[in-house]
Amino acid sequence: MSALAASGALPRASLLQFHVTEDKAVNLKTARSKIEESLSGGGGGEKPKLLVLPEVWNSPYATSAFTEYAEELPSVEKGEDMMGSESAKMLSEAAKEFEVFIVGGSVPEREGEDIYNTCMVFNPAGVLVAKHRKVHLFDIDVPGGISFKESDTLTAGGDLLTTFETGDRLFGTVGVGICYDIRFPEMALLLTKERDVSMICLPGAFNMTTGPAHWELLQRARAVDCQAYVLTASPARATDEMLEKVKKEGKFPPYTAWGHSTAVNPWGEVIGTCNEGEAIVEVEIDMRKSKEMKTNIPTALQKRSDLYKVDVEA
Ligand SMILES: O=C(O)CCC(=O)C(=O)O
């Protein structure tokens, strides 16, 4: 039995769901205060060791806003050089101060002429350890439902598999995707096949059409496909009053997020979730459950690669 099991102390992770406004300074302040709140340890128990923030938390979720709010972000290779990015600086400082892994939701990133939807991950020393640029852009048109075209302003990332290491006493190898990426089982399957992830974190911002139908379903599906935990964090849904204000005074079209930040275990069970308002969802993670599933139902070994392949280009 591992020391972890003997002490009974399983590591915890928290999903931070909060409102996003048109005011970047306010968004930075909100995110920082939610990080602090999630680690204030009211119950006297173990503090979470990993936090997940929502997709696009420093800017309105509007294609017309991304260029204006975009920041040049550091690269993993450049370590602590934050390139003057306020968002990277805040996340790095908070990770270091509170000694916690932060999967920093996503923010619009500028590199040359291109704008990406990018997730940065900081380790408890405040070092950038992973960066994922959304690979599958959210371009859909559901008549009578939702039309959105991220590719109007965003460029898709070219690196499919993003992971970081937390060690076997925490969450093992963790994969990262962003929102629409969750619809592509091949990506999740490759995270398992190539990197043997125990957990996949996906900041997201589903909507009122696909949210009720697919948000939880996709998370449970990916958890069972990959035999891993799936953690998502969404912005809180704007209240009617907030939406009215944006419609009257706002610069960008309003976006109504589904909310419902959720954690699913490798068995496919929802172990933590919330409604549409601001929330902090804290869950226990037992990465041995992922290993157990992979041993007990060894689908990875039973694939008929003679008949079909899920493959990644080097
Ligand atoms: O897949 C969906 O239905 C929603 C995706 C989305 O909102 C996003 O990628 O930002």
Let me know if domain 3-301 sits in CATH 3.60.110.10: yes
Ligand 1-lining residues (CB < 6 angstroms): 55, 138, 179-180, 183, 205-207, 210, 214
In terms of Cβ atoms closer than 10 Å to its own Cβ (0-12, 13-18, 19+), residue 47 is middle
Residue 314: pLDDT band (50, 70, 90) is low
Minimum CA distance residue for ligand 1 atom 5: 180
> Of 265, 280, 258, which is closest to residue 231 (Cα–Cα)?
265
Ligand 1 mutation target, pool 135, 180, 209, 232, most atoms within 8 A of CB: 180
- Calpha distance 201→269 (Å, rounded): 16
Active site residue 49: no
Residue 46: pLDDT band (50, 70, 90) is confident
Structure token digits, residue 87: 């968002």
- Calpha distance 253→247 (Å, rounded): 7
Contact 21, 239 (CB under 8 A): no
Domain boundaries, the chain: 3-301
> Of 84, 213, 48, 191, which is closest to residue 132 (Cα–Cα)?
191
Q: What is the pLDDT of residue 161?
A: 97
- Calpha distance 10→12 (Å, rounded): 6
**ipTM of this complex:** 0.98
Tally of helices (H runs) and strands (E runs) in the chain: 10, 15
Residue 96 phi, psi (nearest 5): -70, -45
Q: Read off the pTM.
A: 0.96
295-298 contacts at long range (C-beta below 8 A, 24 or more positions apart): 297/227
- Calpha distance 256→239 (Å, rounded): 9
Please tell me the distance between residue 229's alpha carbon and the centre of ligand 1 in angstroms.
20
Active site residue 194: no
Ligand 1 mutation target, pool 210, 214, 215, 255, most atoms within 8 A of CB: 210
Residue 119 has pLDDT above 70, yes or no: yes
Query: What are the tens digits of pLDDT across the range 133-170?
Result: 999 999 999 999 999 999 999 999 999 999 999 999 99
Query: What are the tens digits of pLDDT across the range 94-114?
Result: 999 999 999 999 999 999 999
276 sits in the region (left: phi over 0; alpha: psi -120 to 50; else beta) called alpha
Determine which one of 179, 216, 276, 294 is catalytic.
179
Residue 97's H or E segment, with its range, is helix 86-98
Q: What is the pLDDT of residue 44?
A: 59
Mean of per-residue pLDDT scores for the chain:
94
Mean pLDDT of the 22-50 span: 91
How many residues does this entry show for the chain? 314
Please tell me the distance between residue 284's alpha carbon and the centre of ligand 1 in angstroms.
27
